[in-house]
Amino acid sequence: MRKGFSIIDWWFESITVAAFVLAIGIMFVQIISRYFFQSPFMWAEEIARLLFVWIVYLGVPVAIKRHANIAVDYFIQYLPEVMNKRLKVVLYIVAAAFSLIISYFGMLMILENMHMTIRTLPISQAVWYLPIVLGFLMMAINFIRVIPDILTGQDE
């Protein structure tokens, strides 16, 4: 089970890095073509925007697994350690449930928009909603996966 999750984690990290490199490359080529050749690519801006959506939604589960997600800890730092852990576990369970709900609605959006294409390329609009489903599903899994780390104090 642990090996399967490590492979999934590797894929999420690899796709996120590849999307980031590709987005920067596409934007660079777009800038060069626009200013030096006065001939911008019509599809470049939309693809770059789509890649940034993928980067965000596939990068957040990686941050959760690495305990790098942002938390407001001003109030909880004054709680006793046991209460702090319990509160964090409850919040992660609630976040996991919320992530599953968002993933479900993202799947409905995919099914609703699968037959439509994006404006500049003959690609299904489902590619806009697929990272929501994948990202939130993996976020829910990672919220549950890090609970033992919280309980043992390894989440710092």
| Cα(156)–Cα(66) distance, integer angstroms | 9
pTM of the model: 0.83
What SS3 state is found at 124?
A: strand
Domain ranges of the chain: 2-152
Each residue of 50-77: pLDDT tens digit? 999 999 999 999 888 887 777 767 777 7
Beta partners for 32? Answer: none
pLDDT at 135 over 80: yes
Q: How confident is the model at residue 113, as a pLDDT?
A: 87
Contact (CB, 8 A) for 41 and 30: yes
For residue 25, what pLDDT band results from cuts at 50, 70 and 90? very high
Tell me how many degrees the CA angle 10-16-17 measures, rounded to the nearest 5.
90
Q: What is the mean pLDDT of residues 116-139?
A: 88
| Cα(131)–Cα(152) distance, integer angstroms | 31
What SS3 state is found at 117?
A: strand
Each residue of 3-16: pLDDT tens digit? 777 888 899 899 99
Radius of gyration of the CA atoms of the chain, in A: 19
